[in-house]
Amino acid sequence: MFEKVLIANRGEIALRVLRACRELGVRTAVVYSTADADSAAVRLADEAVRIGPAASRRSYLNAAAIVEAARQVGAQAVHPGYGFLSEDADFAEICADNGLTFIGPPPEVMAVLADKSSARALMRRAGLPLPPGSVAPVPSAAAAAEVAAEVGYPVIVKAAAGGGGRGMTVVATPAELPRAYARTRAAAQAAFGDDRVYVERYLTDARHVEVQLLCDSHGNGVHLGTRDCSVQRRHQKLVEEAPAPALSAGTGEAIAECALRGALHAGFTGAGTVEFLVDGEERFHFLEINCRIQVEHPVTEMITGIDLVHEQLHIAAGVPLRWRQEDVRPHGVAIECRVNVEDPDRGFAPTPGRLDRFTPPGGPFTRVDTHGHAGYLFGPHYDSLLAKVAVWAPDRELALNRLERALDEFDVAGPGVRTTIPFVRRVLDDAGFRKGRYTTGLVEQLLAGPPDAHHRRHR
């Protein structure tokens, strides 16, 4: 095992990794920007290195500064968390060139999987089903129109280098396609420095189901079951649960088996997630592979009892996988919601500000991952995630009730600060959601309808 790990992230995930390292007897160092000088991670780490100002590109996206910090503190490995440089193959290669272990897949594997077109081609060779559409990037609006005419509308235009819900446009009619194609290419170039896009059929009334994997560098791999992440706003998840509800056991096992086969075919190592779209007839289609720990990993930990960050550290240190597939025995139901500092009534616009009150919930089988505290200044510089509230119960109905109870207890307030808690309560009240019969269109449906009395009462 490593003697010291540098944590190249911030917020709740920096704390999550720091705690896992502590539990394994590994010393920690964190990097931080000037905006995070008073953060909990900086206070709790064995060492902390300031790497730049608040702007991400000059701090948490500054690969040279992070590597220099790791060398300065004598770290053997770098944990990137999620977001920022966590799926940047160039950063992983820079780490390797400087004698640092990047806690994630090899750079060459990350490079292939980060490119959606090459990942689709690789997964097709592994036998995974893909949505109808182009595998290679489409070079022109005319070529995009040919693909769309073949697969049928609606279609979605996606950036080959996209991620995090960015770089995609849904197109309902042929008349919209030329402009959408040009707009998506321009947005992809601005966001990713790569304007290549591909076109595939947009599956309406589909569910977003993903599979958690652990793979080592010795050719071993296990899946840890499914998660449903269909409750999304702007392709960003709000509520996640494990296992995926209202999915037949046969389909769930088939999705998990496909995910593991695809990851092993790609040479994946570490903790990763394979994402699928599942239609109303339980036909499933590969979306992408995430080469990092996911925000929603706690729900898998709660139903399996497996600490995913511990496993990341063991795998990166070269230890053979400590689990066989028959050892993985999911039990019960876990549901997580993200508490973002956003105003759902204004298009989920961020509402930064100082937290005058901050009391997270407690109680049995209730987990809160957060970096917030009373007096914390939630700034405008980074993403709006404040906390994750996850609960476990033997069955889904009790898990839903437990999450509602936890959200009732969560007290967070400050001048101008709004959170997504009232909107999550609307999700939990939805009849289709309560039955486990919901799709990626749920958030739009709720936004289009009037706020219910429950929502008004908790604003």
Residue range 47-105, pLDDT digits in tens: 999 999 999 999 999 999 999 999 999 999 999 999 999 999 999 999 999 999 999 99
> Is residue 199's pLDDT more than 90?
yes
For tokens 């652990």, name the residue. 214
Whether 229 and 210 have beta carbons less than 8 Å apart is answered as yes
Tokens at 361, concatenated: 């919930």
Distance CA 413, CA 212 (A): 34
What does each C-alpha distance from 326 to 21, 221, 262, 263, 321 come to in angstroms?
Answer: 27, 12, 20, 19, 13
Other CB atoms within 10 Å distance of the CB of residue 253: 14
Q: Is the dihedral of CA 195, 199, 200, 204 positive or negative?
A: positive
- As a whole number, the mean pLDDT across the chain is 95
Distance CA 288, CA 20 (A): 27
Class of residue 319 by CB neighbours under 10 A (exposed 0-12, middle 13-18, buried 19+): middle
Whether 341 and 419 have beta carbons less than 8 Å apart is answered as yes
**Residue 358, pLDDT score:** 98
Stretch 212-224: mean pLDDT: 98
Residue from 10, 201, 292, 418 carrying the catalytic annotation: 292
Task: Report helix angle 249-266 to 116-125, nearest 10.
Answer: 110
Residue 435: HSE in the Cβ half-sphere, 13 Å Cα cutoff: 6
3 state SS for 125-157: HCCCCCCCECCCCCCCHHHHHHHHHHHCCCEEE
Stretch 244-261: mean pLDDT: 97
> Is residue 456's pLDDT more than 50?
no
Largest CA distance in the chain: 60
Distance CA 177, CA 155 (A): 9
Domains of the chain: 4-103 (3.40.50.20), 132-201 (3.30.1490.20), 207-448 (3.30.470.20)
Bridge partners (DSSP) of residue 197 are 159
Query: pTM for the whole thing?
Result: 0.94
3 state SS for 58-94: HCCCCHHHHHHHHHHHCCCEEECCCCCCCCCHHHHHH
CB proximity list for 262: less than 8 A, separation 6 or greater = 122, 123, 126, 128, 274, 286, 289
Q: 362-400, pLDDT tens digit by residue?
A: 999 999 999 999 999 999 999 999 999 999 999 999 999
**Residue 167, pLDDT score:** 85
**Residue 453, pLDDT score:** 44
Whether 171 and 151 have beta carbons less than 8 Å apart is answered as no
Indicate if 292 belongs to the active site.
yes
Stretch 248-259: mean pLDDT: 97
